[in-house]
């Protein structure tokens, strides 16, 4: 694994917190919290905290691009 790919993995792990997803998508964390509560972004609750699979977030982004909008 190259140093660059290792840095990418460390920066955006496969399971992300609400704050990490907000940073990844460059939106405020309250936006991600609202979207998770509404079910408009793929998420799960673990020990009463929101968690997000990066692969699923990436798939969701592609689906949104195809539709032309993100709520």
pLDDT grade for 67, boundaries at 50, 70 and 90: confident
Q: Residue by residue, what is the 3-state secondary structure of 3-68? A: HHHHHHHHHCCCEEEHHHHHHHHCCCHHHHHHHHHHCCCCCEEECCEEEEEHHHHHHHHHHHHHHC
Q: What is the pLDDT of residue 68?
A: 76
The number of distinct structural domains making up the chain is 1
Residues 6+ apart with CB under 8 A from 3: none
The domain of 55 spans 3-67
Report the CATH number at residue 13. 1.10.1660
Q: What is the pLDDT of residue 65?
A: 87
Could you give the CA distance from residue 34 to residue 55 in angstroms, rounded to a whole number? 20
């Amino acid at each position: 694994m190259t140093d660059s790919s290792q840095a990418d993995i460390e920066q955006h792990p496969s399971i992300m917190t609400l704050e990490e997803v907000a940073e990844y998508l460059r939106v405020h964390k309250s936006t991600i919290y609202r979207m998770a509560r509404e079910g408009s972004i793929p998420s799960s609750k673990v020990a009463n905290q929101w968690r997000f699979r990066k692969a699923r977030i990436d798939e969701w982004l592609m689906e949104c691009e195809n539709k032309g909008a993100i709520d």
